[in-house]
Structures are given as C-alpha cells and as structure tokens.
Structure 1
C-alpha cells in the first residue's frame, strides 16, 4: 500500500498492517498531532481541549504522548468523554459544570498553559453568544459560531498558547481581542500539513506507540454509507467514526 508523497518521496505501508491501523493517517490523526504540536508542550504543562470529536480525541492522545502533565477534555457527550478518559485525560462536561471555574481549579488558579479549539465554527449549546451567532446565520450573516474559541482564549493563562485545528470559514465577532492581547497569548492555526506528518506518525503506529483503532465505533458495508453519515451527524455520542468497507 502506498500513501501520498511526502517531502522525502513515497511512503510504503507494510502489507501486513491492517488498513484500519493506518486509515486515519489521511487526515484526522495528523490534524490532532499538529494541534498538539502547535501548543509547544513542555514538561508539567496543562492542556485543555475543547471538543472530543475525532480531531479532539487525537489531539488529546497526541498531547499526552508529547509529555503534557495533564490534559483536560471538554465536551458534553458521555461516551466521547469516556473515550477521553480512557486515553488518560481528565474531563469536564460543559452541560453540568462551569468550564472556566473548573479549569482554574484544575490548573492551580492560573489557567491552562495551552488550549486547543477542536470545535470550530459549528459550536453547539445555548450560551448567549452562541445563540446570537445562530440567529445571525439564520438571517444570512456569515457569522461563525465561536463560543468554544472565545471560551478558550479567556481561560488560557497569561503567556499561554492557543491552537486552533477547528475549522472557521466566515467572520467572528465578540472576539475577546483584549484578553488575547493583555495576556500575551500566542495563536497558531491553519490547514494541517498532512504529508509532513505521514512518515513520523506511521512509524509511531508501526512501533505500537499510537493506536488509532479506538476511534472506530462502527463498521458498515459501503452501501450503508447514507446510514453512516446520518448517524455520525445526528447521534454523535455513540457514533465517533465509521469505516465503510466494500463487499
């Protein structure tokens, strides 16, 4: 099996390796890895991750592999929070807990050293800022839902780092630029450099350092693709990632 060219030429996946073990090299594993790398993690760091979807979970896994002392995962889907805990993360259910207060308590009163917004422009929930963003979208204003990013910027400690793998496509208002400037935050984002990470991540998979198969919740025949997409959209608690296989 061959994967796309990297800067050092084509990379060959050994035939004896199951496809599922390397499937996520094509996108979400490198995205989660780059998200954690953009945090410039140092020993003793506390990293907070908004969103326990596929990218968020791989960001959690990556941050722990990079040496974070604690990773705090923020979501409201019980099963996805369970997956985060199985990786070694602490968790916050934002539907049950005030996120900012919990993060301050869990970080010794200073805030996380780095934060990762793995949610992006489709943030959900009934926070006032999110409701206003949804109303603007309904009337045709190109306003992204930036609740998770706003919350992350406010929570991050002074001099901290902000990593944004979550996708944004329009405009964002109510942006806490003052907090970002006054705290001297560093912000890094952008599309993932997938080919840059293909070879080193493949080596970590082959060595057993990374196992991606925990992400797969369902395996369906190819003709059941519409069912898979429907459930991945509407039943996000149980459906984390679907693998479609031709018969």
Structure 2
C-alpha cells in the first residue's frame, strides 16, 4: 500500500501555472460574448416590461376600472441615465363630469387631454403616492434610452378610440398638424450615445440592441427588433417582429 501511495503525485508549480493561464485565456474569450448576451437580455427585458405595462393599463379600460388612461415616459437625462415608465388611470366617476361638460378642458383644450402636469387630473397616479397597484404602476429601468434625452412623453388611451391622444415627445408636429406617435424606440444606453438615434424609422448610428414598441389607438401592442444588414451603413437592415 505504501508503494502504491508513493506513486500518487499532485500537480507541481509549473503545471498549476499552466492550468491558471489556460483558465484565464478561456475566460477572456468568453467574457465579451457573455457581456453581449447580458446586455441584450437586459434591453429585451426592459422592452417586454414596458409592453406588459401598456397592455395591463389597457386591460383595465376593457374591464371598466378606468375610462381614460395614460402611459408616461420620462428620460432621466445624463444625470440619471434610464427611463421611468408610469401608468395612470381616470375612473368613470371622475371622467363623467368632463365628458358631460361641453365647456370643460376636455373639449376646449384637446391637445392637453393627455395631461402630464395637473396632479389632480388622474384618479390613480403612482407618481403621487409612490404605491404600485395591480391597476397602475411605475417601472424604473436602468441603462436603456429612447429617442430623446432628459424629456417626457405620454400617450393616452380611452374607452373610445377617438380619445387616443399624446403629449410632448410622443406627439409629432404642432397645432392642426399634430399627430400622436404610435411607437417608442428603446435601445442600450451604455454606449457613446445617450439616446436612440432614429430618423424616418431607421437608425442613423449603429445600435446593437434597438427595439420599437408599437401601439394602435385601440391599445394593440407589438414589438420589433432592428436587424442590421452587416454593412457600414447603420440604416441598412430591417425590423423583425418579436
């Protein structure tokens, strides 16, 4: 038994150094792929959480909990990089006086129907009390951005599709030419750009993780991801439904 034990040898110092070096090389090769995968998953997770929030607040409209609802998107700017997405709702009881009063702001100030300033406008607003519920909630999303920096945009849906409205950065044009946007671009914020650089619906700079959340005035939601063509022109590629 002693002779057999003497034949069992451990690693010497050189062999251990070789193993450590090999582990370091393999880890170094795998790390960039892991980082890319993690970034993609983080942006994708943010996109589908936003989709779930929009679908959730519109479901409350269909159930009668609310008659008019809002999804507000706020970019924290360079000081607080990330997005805050908030859903709000107006109950039938509070909505009825607005609808039945032809002189109310609801009828006289249509561009501001999707109100983002009056703290008493919405029946339930988690921005005021900081409490999320099944009906309304807030998402605090880090390391993602949209097509503007340090601004606010909002889109509102109603029981009647004619009440579809928007505010600020989710409205294109002004006055009679104002049109409510039906999309929100989401991209990774950890690169050189602090926003998703989009022009005419396509990127003008390279984005490895670029998504578009689209909605209709009826509250139907879809998600597309930008697939680059692989060339030098970032605008060459296509949107792929997810």
The verdict on a shared fold, with TM-score over 0.5 as the criterion, is: no
User: Which structure shows the higher helix fraction?
Assistant: 1
Answer 1 or 2: higher relative contact order, Cα 8 Å, separation at least 6. 1
TM-score (norm. length: structure 2): 0.24
User: Which structure shows the higher strand fraction?
Assistant: 2
Question: Which of these two proteins has the greater Rg computed from alpha carbons?
Answer: 2
TM-score (norm. length: structure 1): 0.24
